[in-house]
Chains A and B, each alone.
Chain A
């Protein structure tokens, strides 16, 4: 995992061009996890939840045209750059960096340990063209690439919707994507790594949540906490029919907890957990 240096913000700023077509840049603003609220108020919590290190904000101005704003985040690791990118996956793939979306005047992408938001205050054909060009320029200037979180390897491929995979560390973000419980019953606590993925089911969609904890005892405690709060009358590995006539099941394996929500059948939920378990065991053998 690469670590930022004292020159982190300067390095990050060096990846952003000083002009974008006829737009010229203004002075950079630099924020860290303690000062980001000065820039985007409480919304900064999203980026803090992914362990952001620095943000370089550069505004481009051209009289008579909408401003363009580049918000470039050094997230400290490629896993968290990927994670914060997955917070909002709506939009069309712009084929920029290691993953990107474009929608309504906003280009988002990640590359290496960086997450970029390139935004036009008003979408026009010209700003869209400039945003995409700016994004391509920045992506090309970032020399390295980064690895997606290893936890994604524990997602069985069958039925997986690749564009609907989220990586995160706390229950507020989990609830943003899929409400599980008001409290942190899975003990994510900002220290765990978690991946939530959507799976196609006949007539609907199920979710698979896989959480990686520091060690097996932590996973066991989290599993017990989840079972006690969410499905106190179910055995581990057994399914529980929920009020929507779908099935939930969970399993603890080593330092991992896996939960299937909204499966069409108990057998389907168990089969998905079996597949996760095989991937965990295979991963261990590869270590």
Chain B
């Protein structure tokens, strides 16, 4: 090993008698933060879900519109989207089809509608997950929108926006080393590099704990009814992680930390420089329903 590894003792020196904070310690070596902050919008609506738990399409659309307006600082939603997407773009919307907790058709449709409003015709637009490498629209994509639900994950710690691009690799398992520490490296692949215009971390019913092979139990989800939206996938994930950990603290009455540690989020910042994971460098704009906000 040529580099000095981070050990438990590093934590203990920094945070004596305090549980392991956040994910892993590489942030200890982070250089001074730049002056600018990354904007993340958290939008919630108490009626985002109907009594059966299904998303209400019109509310989801309004939430996404509010979030993008706030993110861009533009009152007109179409103009806001036109700062993200050009009419001559070919756009791939990278969704997530995990059966127990998908991105949801309502979120996909809300994004698709606004991409088309920005001037992109339907034949230059596609929504896909596991077929992205074979999808002709994704193969020609000049712009990507990244949308997935937030959940705990048995190997990476958190199913994150960063992780959602693993389907752009021919062998996803090649990125599993050190519990997915270097997932952000995927974002340097030519299929995706520099193309992502928006990240939507779906927080409608996040999964805050997992058990067993299937990793899912409805009892460990809750109706948070939110979306986290940012141009920066790392900042979106870091914010979603705060919500998950806060929910775990509330539920389990412990430190709330995820196992395994979702250190790929911090390493996306400190090792891969994909974005910002430090809450102090994130401008969090909170919109809408505030009950049970948690952060």
Binding site for B on A (CB under 8 A): 37, 40-47, 69, 71, 88, 90, 103-106, 108, 117, 119, 121-123, 172, 175-177, 179-183, 185, 229-231, 242-245, 248, 261
28 contacts between A and B (CB under 8 A): A40-B154, A42-B154, A42-B156, A42-B180, A43-B153, A43-B155, A43-B215, A44-B155, A45-B154, A45-B155, A71-B212, A71-B213, A71-B214, A105-B217, A117-B212, A123-B217, A172-B178, A172-B179, A175-B261, A177-B259, A183-B1, A183-B6, A229-B4, A242-B8, A242-B9, A243-B9, A248-B9, A261-B8
- Taken residue by residue from 1 to 35, chain B's Cβ proximity to chain A (1 for < 8 Å, 0 otherwise) reads as 10011111101111011001000111000000000
Min CB distance A107 to B, Å, is: 9
Question: What is the total number of residues of chain B having a CB less than 8 Å from a CB of chain A?
Answer: 43
The distance in angstroms between the C-alpha atoms of A106 and B259, with both chains bound, is 18
Min CB distance B168 to A, Å, is: 15
Interface presence of B176 (CB below 8 A): yes
Interface presence of B260 (CB below 8 A): yes
The distance in angstroms between the C-alpha atoms of A214 and B173, with both chains bound, is 27
Contacting residues, chain B, for A47 (C-beta < 8 A): 213
Residues B153 and A183 in contact, CB atoms below 8 Å apart: no
Residues A42 and B173 in contact, CB atoms below 8 Å apart: yes
Contacting residues, chain A, for B213 (C-beta < 8 A): 40, 43, 47, 69, 71, 117, 119
Min CB distance A142 to B, Å, is: 18
Per DSSP, are chain A's interface residues mostly helix, strand or loop, or mixed?
mixed
Residues B211 and A42 in contact, CB atoms below 8 Å apart: no
Min CB distance B295 to A, Å, is: 24
Residues A230 and B9 in contact, CB atoms below 8 Å apart: yes
Chain B minimum-CB-distance residue to A115: B213
Interface presence of B193 (CB below 8 A): no
Min CB distance B2 to A, Å, is: 11
Contacting residues, chain B, for A117 (C-beta < 8 A): 212-214
Interface presence of B219 (CB below 8 A): yes
Interface presence of B218 (CB below 8 A): yes
Chain B minimum-CB-distance residue to A43: B154
Contacting residues, chain B, for A46 (C-beta < 8 A): 154-155
Residues A176 and B13 in contact, CB atoms below 8 Å apart: no
Min CB distance A261 to B, Å, is: 7
The distance in angstroms between the C-alpha atoms of A40 and B153, with both chains bound, is 10
Given A181-B8, A244-B12, does the pair A40, B215 have CB atoms closer than 8 Å?
yes
Min CB distance B267 to A, Å, is: 9
Residues A182 and B6 in contact, CB atoms below 8 Å apart: yes
Beyond A37-B172, A47-B213, A106-B212, list 7 extra A-B contacts (CB 8 Å): A71-B214, A104-B220, A106-B211, A181-B5, A181-B8, A182-B26, A229-B7
Min CB distance B100 to A, Å, is: 8
Chain B minimum-CB-distance residue to A66: B218
Contacting residues, chain B, for A42 (C-beta < 8 A): 153-156, 166, 172-173, 176, 180
Chain B minimum-CB-distance residue to A117: B213
Chain A minimum-CB-distance residue to B166: A42
Contacting residues, chain A, for B172 (C-beta < 8 A): 37, 41-42
